[in-house]
């Protein structure tokens, strides 16, 4: 029996979606599903939803719920991590404190000051998960969805190099779906490759029957002034390749947009948008908790984690996009930091595909992102609080918006606000 453990199962809407995909595979219909969360109410809601999904399919998995992570992990084959340390309260801190300093963010979970501090408060939990897995399920795969993705995968490689980790994100899939809608080509008809870093990778090949589709995108952009009012369309026109994350998210990884009022208006950038998203997530949770109607099993797409599980269990090869440590996969990005590349999964595991060198302008945009992540991980590993401040200093949007004194004062304020959520050596 395949055992699949969910850490952070209290993210109940996403847990329900993953379970809908997992239990839809006949080979996994009898799996052992172990749900873990530290919030008893959310855990109970997740368990009830799991059983309702099973009932809707007419299948009988074993469903176990526990607040004790060490009871959840023994015998696991796959561990799906969706933990969000600090939840909405910590997210508000990540936005409200920088806003007092005049620093604008949109999502704040990847790099930037928000990404740095989200990473720092997530790392201790990841270290605990890795240690428990090494003892209780050393052969299991950790399938990580928790952000900041690239920092988290890199940190795990530093503190638990033997742990089998794949970082999974759906941004590339939805980017290509969106591009296909713009040019009027069915998604099923296209092939594509992407490479870069999570939330700032690039569509380096996008074809239909061997024909490049970028010229059709150029025609659509020329014909539609409103299409030109998107950050990533603006980036594509200047860099030559389409970025794989949403416009509001892409805006905060570079120094060009958020500090300028004119750019906010020209490109319709929603400052603080993740607070709205977080509030909507809370409302979705409340709705899911209250809903007793039939479970909708229809899904527009399948998430990667269920596909990885099914491929590794059955030996069915699939080509997905995954975040793994750069071990020569992208030649002109630093080694040792996580990159996002096409990856084949099958019974033998995961096989990332080397992407070679990125076009030089793309690698140049990625390198500041990598530098922020490298310094943040180094801060946690070495317990050196100066490295936290230095990570913020080299962050493109933060550096473009604040003086160095303001950056250090902001880091002090966030450190005080997050308190014991941060690693002990970085609380001063």
Q: What is the mean pLDDT of the chain?
A: 96
- 130-149 b/e (C-beta count within 10 Å ≥ 16 → b): bebbeebbeebbbbbbbbbb
pLDDT tens per residue, range 330-381: 999 999 999 999 999 999 999 999 999 999 999 999 999 999 999 999 999 9
Q: What is the pLDDT of residue 18?
A: 95
CA distance 77 to 214: 41
Is the pLDDT assigned to residue 181 strictly greater than 80? yes
Q: Is 325 helix (H, G, I), strand (E, B) or coil?
A: strand
Q: What is the pLDDT of residue 286?
A: 82
Task: End-to-end CA distance of the chain: give it in Å, rounded.
Answer: 47
Is the pLDDT assigned to residue 300 strictly greater than 70? no
CA distance 130 to 119: 16
Q: Are the beta carbons of 54 and 63 closer than 8 angstroms?
A: yes
Is the pLDDT assigned to residue 296 strictly greater than 90? no
- At 387, list the tokens: 């490295």
Is the pLDDT assigned to residue 294 strictly greater than 80? no
Which listed residue (36, 170, 199, 260) is catalytic?
170
User: What secondary structure does DSSP assign to 241-257, as a single string?
Assistant: SEESS-HHHHHTTSSSS
CA distance 188 to 284: 30
Q: Catalytic annotation on 351? A: no
pLDDT tens per residue, range 105-156: 999 999 999 999 999 999 999 999 999 999 999 999 999 999 999 999 999 9
Phi/psi region, residue 356 (left: phi>0; alpha: psi -120 to 50; beta: rest), is left
| Confidence category of residue 10, pLDDT binned at 50, 70, 90 | confident
Q: Are the beta carbons of 414 and 97 closer than 8 angstroms?
A: yes
CA distance 10 to 285: 9
Beta bridge pairs of residue 55: none
Enumerate domains of the chain plus CATH numbers.
Answer: 3-89+108-169 (3.40.50.720)
Contacts of 280 (CB under 8 A, 6+ apart): none
Contacts of 243 (CB under 8 A, 6+ apart): 175, 196, 200, 201, 202, 203, 232, 235, 236, 250
Is the pTM higher than 0.85? The answer reads yes
Is the pLDDT assigned to residue 180 strictly greater than 90? yes
**C-alpha distances in angstroms, 311 versus 316, 344, 378?**
5, 9, 34
Q: Are the beta carbons of 380 and 423 closer than 8 angstroms?
A: yes
Burial class (CB in 10 A: 0-12, 13-18, 19+), 286: exposed
H or E segment to which residue 135 belongs: helix 112-136
Is the pLDDT assigned to residue 19 strictly greater than 90? yes
């Amino acid at each position: 029996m395949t055992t699949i453990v969910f850490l952070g199962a209290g993210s109940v809407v996403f847990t329900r979606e993953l379970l809908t995909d997992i239990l839809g595979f006949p080979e996994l219909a009898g799996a052992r599903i172990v749900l873990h969360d530290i919030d008893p109410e959310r855990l109970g809601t997740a368990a009830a939803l799991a059983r309702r999904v099973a009932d809707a399919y007419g299948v009988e998995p074993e469903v176990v719920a526990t607040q004790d992570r060490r009871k959840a992990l023994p015998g696991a084959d796959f561990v799906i991590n969706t933990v969000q340390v600090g939840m909405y309260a910590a997210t508000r801190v990540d936005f409200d404190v920088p806003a007092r300093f005049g620093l604008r963010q949109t999502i704040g979970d990847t790099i930037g000051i928000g990404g740095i501090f989200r990473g720092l408060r997530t790392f201790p939990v990841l270290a605990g998960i890795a240690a428990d897995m090494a003892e209780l399920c050393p052969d299991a795969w950790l399938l990580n969805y928790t952000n900041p993705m690239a920092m988290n995968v890199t940190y795990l490689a530093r503190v638990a190099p033997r742990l089998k980790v794949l970082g999974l994100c759906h941004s590339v899939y939805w980017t290509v779906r969106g591009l296909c809608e713009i040019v009027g080509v069915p998604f099923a008809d296209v092939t594509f490759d992407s490479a870069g870093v999570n939330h700032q990778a690039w569509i380096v090949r996008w074809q239909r029957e061997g024909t490049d589709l970028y010229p059709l995108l150029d025609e659509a952009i020329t014909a539609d002034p409103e299409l030109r009012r998107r950050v990533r369309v603006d980036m594509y026109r200047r860099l030559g390749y389409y970025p794989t994350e949403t416009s509001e998210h892409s805006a905060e990884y570079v120094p060009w947009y958020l500090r300028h009022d004119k750019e906010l208006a020209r490109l319709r950038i929603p400052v603080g948008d993740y607070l709205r998203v977080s509030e909507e997530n809370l409302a979705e949770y409340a709705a899911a908790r209250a809903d007793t109607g039939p479970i909708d099993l229809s899904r527009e797409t399948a998430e990667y984690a269920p596909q990885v599980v099914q491929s590794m269990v059955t030996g069915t090869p699939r080509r997905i996009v995954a975040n793994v440590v750069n071990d020569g996969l992208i030649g002109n990005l630093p080694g040792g930091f996580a990159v996002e590349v096409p990856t084949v999964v099958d019974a033998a595991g995961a096989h990332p595909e080397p992407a070679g060198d990125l076009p030089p302008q793309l690698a140049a945009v990625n390198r500041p992102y990598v530098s922020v992540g490298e310094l943040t991980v180094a801060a946690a590993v070495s317990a050196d609080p100066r490295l936290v401040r230095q990570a913020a200093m080299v962050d493109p949007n933060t550096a473009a918006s604040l003086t160095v004194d303001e950056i250090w004062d902001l880091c002090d304020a966030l450190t005080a606000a997050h308190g014991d959520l941060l690693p002990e050596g970085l609380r001063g």
